[in-house]
Amino acid sequence: MAEKLIVVRVAYDPEAKVWWTESSDLFGLNACASSLEELRGILPGMVQDLIELNEPTWLKHDIIVEIVAIGRERIEIPAAAA
């Protein structure tokens, strides 16, 4: 059976302390969670619901969800004294 790959880019917001969907190949996929593991746990149900609503022809394929995570944290290091 053919596969359908859905790439989901997630980013970390250090101020809000949440991971959120920055973009995805599936229209309408918007989620956030306090950890990557939590986000990974809620995505399959959301993806299935959105496919059933918006892309029912995809149900003929095995669905693969690839999560690309980007975390950024600003760390300030003072300049060395001369």
Domain of 24 in residue numbering reads as 3-70
For residue 52 the two structure tokens come to 């059933």
Q: How many Å apart are CA 48 and CA 4, to the nearest integer?
A: 12
Looking at residue 81, the DSSP 8-state letter turns out to be: P
**Amino acid 71: pLDDT:** 76
User: What's the CATH code of the domain at 17?
Assistant: 3.30.2390.10
| Burial status of residue 8 (CB atoms within 10 A of its CB: 0-12, 13-18, 19 or more) | buried
Question: Is 79 among the domain residues?
Answer: no
Report the candidate in 58, 60, 18, 26 with the shortest Cα–Cα distance to residue 43.
26
Rounded to two decimals, what is the model's pTM? 0.80
Give me the number of domains the chain comprises: 1
Whether 78 is covered by a domain: the verdict is: no
Q: Is residue 81 part of a domain?
A: no
65 in a structural domain:
yes
77 within a domain of the structure (yes/no): no
Q: Does the residue 46 lie in any domain?
A: yes
As averages over each run of 10 residues, the pLDDT of the chain (82 residues) reads 92 92 95 95 95 92 93 79 72
**Residue 82 forms part of a structural domain:** no
pLDDT at site 74: 74
